[in-house]
Amino acid sequence: MRTTGIQELLKSRSLLFCDGAWGTIFQFAGLKPGESCELWNRDQRKKVLEVAQSYVDLGVDMIETNSFRGNGITLAGIGLENDAVELNRLAAEISREAAGDKCLVLGSVGPTGKILMMGDVSENEMYDTFAEQVHALEQGGADAICIETMSALDEAELAVKAAVENTDLEVVCTFTFVKTMSGDYKTVMGITPAQMAEKLLSAGASIIGTNCGYGMEAMIPIVKAFRDFDSNIPLLVQANAGIPKIEDGKTVFPETPDEMAGHVPDLIDAGVSIIGGCCGTTPDHITAIMNKAKVYHTANS
Amino acid sequence: MTDLNKLNESIISGDLNTSVQITKEALAEKTDPQEIIQKYMITAMDVIGGKFERNEVFVPELLMAARAMKGSLELLRPLLAASGIEPQGRVIIGTVKGDLHDIGKNLVASMLEGSGFEVDNMGVDVPSDKIVAAVQSKEIDIVALSALLTTTMPSMRDVIEALKEAGVRDKVKVIIGGPAVTQEFCDQIDADGYSENANGAVSLARKLLAS
Ligand code: B12
Ligand SMILES: [Zn+2]
């Protein structure tokens, strides 16, 4: 049975699971630096479907789509702006095909890479770009929109509004926070979790959270900061498998599945609602996280 | 007399209109452009760069300051050129092949510019041969490379190898940066120096050209 949505699922279960990385898996599967992941939706459909399927098979509640850099402004940087609608629709179709009725599909929307205050793009252009992308994701079969890895409040707000006003889907939004010298967490644009939550909830997001960053452990204080602001709002956390290093010329993400899973109890205690992974995570990481959470849950109920 | 301390303050607070207006007033009073830059503008960029380094301000504040500084610098530059004053050094800067991140690189470019360097910003996804061609055709002291992805950091080595192959490696100092760059990596690929932030990039550039 295809469920109605994330908030609906959270009424009967306190913890849900999401997929892990796609982009870094493509890199290991031969995606070259600078090559567009999104083009693979058309040219390497099988490989994209395989990644989607590998996460669905774990029994997660939701998977994303291969469309993180699929907005028209970012695609214009590599001359693909006219392909935006098609590439996003395909992204959603591929994830839908893998998910069937087994899990939800979250249409991934990443930042444009432009800073509004610099004046390279206008608010209207940015809004239109996001509107085009979310609409195509909905057409392709997405159940929700996941606006992720954001750091600027104005850009994220435009994206959330574009999703709320141009689709009938639930809207999720996650920010990437960095640790400041004083020990608290802000985005590179200086935004705190509370500032983000306040603005985006009023813009119409129904689920917020944090992704990418510095690994699983660093997500715990961020979740606490969100919870200090709002004790009820559904919170999504997708951590990186640590900060990547270069070893023998290869990119290595240091956190093993067990290491990541080790922080899951604290993350649950802090009040997370949905756990998944970002850069460097694999189906093995998600499996370890799910197992740990289940063991912890049983021990505590 | 114009209070030039206000110029310093307006750059730090990112107030473009005020910084331009004070610069105009100072020039009308025939203040030495060199003095304006050295005493009031470079010090402002040092202050804001330090605040950024200590997470007291973030990317927007640094961008605003850089914009205010640029506004003033545009008024002063023609005068400097006319009086034959040389820049502190000539820099080309770019994000390497395969990498599209440009926020950090642009901050480094602005800080260098604000500190008296002449900067040619080549953008993102810059292939080695373009950099080699620039070094061959222009007078350049420093090649500054940025890479944010561990998968594109090797492209920095490619640039250095290409410079060697073209026989121009010794003509320039190569400085590198990005969140995953370390001193060890810098030594491995035979770059001349690295810095963790835009402020450090300026002192690094000064140090390398002085030696
Ligand atoms: C914004 C951002 C983006 C934007 C870029 C927008 C733009 N116009 O630049 C977008 C959305 C496009 C993007 C895309 C991707 N990104 Co990105 N991105 C970031 C993010 C969140 C912030 C980067 C930033 O601007 N920082 C602020 C600036 C001021 O800091 P900085 O760049 O480090 O620069 C400072 C210093 O490093 C130094 N410096 C920089 N350059 C130089 C040069 C010299 C010469 C010197 C001396 C100093 C110096 O001085 C600067 C100022 O102090 C980081 C995470 C993070 N929090 O760092 C990830 C991050 C860099 N991205 C990452 C990834 C994986 C990607 C993607 C591959 C995602 C994907 N799956 O598609 C793509 C790759 C696109 C490509 N081919 O380049 C990873 C990289 C991991 C890795 N493997 O190394 C990061 C680290 C996130 C993470 N934690 O995993 N990204
Ligand atoms: Zn990530």
Burial class (CB in 10 A: 0-12, 13-18, 19+), A238: buried
Phi, psi of A66 (to 5 degrees): -85, 70
- Bridge pairing between strands A235-239 and A207-212: parallel
Nearest CA to ligand 1 atom 35: B104
Asked if A249 has any chain B CB less than 8 Å from its own CB, the reply is yes
Q: In the structure encoding, which two tokens stand for residue A133, read together?
A: 């992308």
Considering chain A, what percentage of its residues have pLDDT values greater than 90?
Answer: 87
Chain A CA closest to residue B102: A113
Q: Determine which of A92-96, A204-208, B44-48 has the lowest per-residue pLDDT on average.
A: B44-48
Beta bridge partners of A172: A146, A207
Q: Which of the ligands is closest to the CA of residue B109?
A: 1
* Cα-Cα end-to-end distance for chain A: 27
Asked if A34 has any chain B CB less than 8 Å from its own CB, the reply is yes
A15-73 pLDDT, tens digit each: 999 999 998 899 888 888 778 899 999 999 999 999 999 999 999 999 999 999 999 99
CB contact under 8 A, A117 and B63: yes
CB contact under 8 A, A186 and B58: yes
Q: Are A137 and A88 in contact (CB under 8 A)?
A: yes
Chain A CA closest to residue B126: A34
Considering chain A, what percentage of its residues have pLDDT values greater than 70?
Answer: 99
Q: Are A195 and A149 in contact (CB under 8 A)?
A: no
Cα B179 to ligand 1 centre (Å)? 8
Task: Write the CB contacts of A250 (distance below 8 Å, at least 6 apart in sequence).
Answer: none
Q: What is the mean pLDDT of residues B59-73?
A: 91
Q: In the structure encoding, which two tokens stand for residue A2, read together?
A: 């295809």
Q: Are A270 and A226 in contact (CB under 8 A)?
A: no
Task: Give the whole-angstrom CA distance, residue B144 versus residue B141.
Answer: 10
Angle at A16 between CA A11 and CA A22, to 5 degrees: 145
Query: Looking at beta carbons, which residues of chain A come within 8 Å of B125?
Result: 34
pLDDT at A3: 56
Q: Are A89 and A45 in contact (CB under 8 A)?
A: no
| CATH fold for the domain made of A6-299 | TIM Barrel (3.20.20)
Q: What is the mean pLDDT of residues A192-216?
A: 97
For the Cβ of A79 lying below 6 angstroms from any atom of ligand 1, the answer is no
> Mean pLDDT for chain B?
92
- Which atom from ligand 1 is nearest to the alpha carbon of A37? 72
CB contact under 8 A, B54 and A117: no
Query: Looking at beta carbons, which residues of chain B come within 8 Å of A34?
Result: 97-100, 125, 152
Ligand 1 binding pocket mutation candidate from B57, B111, B148 (most atoms within 8 A of CB): B148
Q: Are A159 and A194 in contact (CB under 8 A)?
A: no
Q: Which helix H or strand E contains A64, and what residues bound it? A: strand A62-64
Q: For the stretch A93-128, what's the b/e string if a residue is b when 16 or more beta carbons lie within 10 angstroms of its beta carbon?
A: bbbbbbbeeebbbbbbbbbbbbbbeeeebeeebbbb
What is B187-202 written as a DSSP string? HHTT-SEE-SSHHHHH
Angle between helix B59-82 and helix B103-114 axes, rounded to 10 deg: 40
Task: Give the whole-angstrom CA distance, residue B121 versus residue B89.
Answer: 14
Half-sphere exposure of A90 (CA within 13 A, CB side): 18
Task: Give the whole-angstrom CA distance, residue B165 versus residue B81.
Answer: 34
Task: Give the whole-angstrom CA distance, residue B111 versus residue B198.
Answer: 6
Mutation target for A interface from B105, B150, B194, B199: give the one with most A CBs within 10 A. B150
Q: Are B178 and B104 in contact (CB under 8 A)?
A: yes
Type of residue at B140: I
Task: Give the whole-angstrom CA distance, residue B39 versus residue A68.
Answer: 46
Task: Give the whole-angstrom CA distance, residue A205 versus residue B82.
Answer: 56
User: Which stretches does DSSP call E strand in A118-234?
Assistant: 144-150, 170-175, 178-179, 185-186, 207-212
Query: Looking at beta carbons, which residues of chain B come within 8 Å of A32?
Result: 98
Asked if A245 has any chain B CB less than 8 Å from its own CB, the reply is yes
Asked if pLDDT for residue A121 goes beyond 70, the answer is: yes
Cα A212 to ligand 2 centre (Å)? 4
Asked if pLDDT for residue A163 goes beyond 60, the answer is: yes
Type of residue at A234: P
Task: Give the whole-angstrom CA distance, residue A178 versus residue A164.
Answer: 28
Q: Determine which of A159-163, A223-227, B2-6 has the lowest per-residue pLDDT on average.
A: B2-6
B90-136 pLDDT, tens digit each: 999 999 998 888 888 988 998 888 778 999 999 999 999 999 999 99
Residue B38 pLDDT grade (very low, low, confident, very high; cuts 50, 70, 90)? confident
Q: What is the mean pLDDT of residues A113-123?
A: 92
Which residue among B63, B99, B125 places its CB closest to the CB of A118?
Answer: B63
For the Cβ of B105 lying below 6 angstroms from any atom of ligand 1, the answer is yes
Highest mean pLDDT among A79-83, B83-87, B148-152: A79-83
Q: Which of the ligands is closest to the CA of residue A238?
A: 2
Which structural domains are found in chain B, ordered by start? 5-82 (1.10.1240.10), 90-210 (3.40.50.280)
Asked if A188 has any chain B CB less than 8 Å from its own CB, the reply is yes
Beta bridge partners of A76: none
Q: In the structure encoding, which two tokens stand for residue B31, read together?
A: 């203040």
Task: Write the CB contacts of A9 (distance below 8 Å, at least 6 apart in sequence).
Answer: A3, A16, A61, A104
pTM: 0.89
CB contact under 8 A, B185 and A246: yes
Task: Give the whole-angstrom CA distance, residue B110 versus residue B33.
Answer: 19
- Bridge pairing between strands A235-239 and A274-277: parallel
Pairwise pLDDT comparison (A258 vs B110), residue with the higher score: A258
For the Cβ of B41 lying below 6 angstroms from any atom of ligand 1, the answer is no
Task: Give the whole-angstrom CA distance, residue B211 versus residue B205.
Answer: 10
Task: Give the whole-angstrom CA distance, residue B2 versus residue A298.
Answer: 73
CA distances from B71 to A121, B11, B24, B76 (A): 20, 10, 11, 9
Highest mean pLDDT among A26-30, A285-289, B58-62, B102-106: A285-289
Nearest CA to ligand 1 atom 59: B148
Q: Determine which of A62-76, A161-175, B109-123, B173-187 has the lowest per-residue pLDDT on average.
A: B109-123
pLDDT at A1: 41
Nearest CA to ligand 1 atom 71: A23
* Cα-Cα end-to-end distance for chain B: 39
Q: For the stretch B133-148, what's the b/e string if a residue is b when 16 or more beta carbons lie within 10 angstroms of its beta carbon?
A: ebbeeeebbbbbbbbb
Query: Looking at beta carbons, which residues of chain B come within 8 Å of A245?
Result: 150, 180
pLDDT at B96: 96
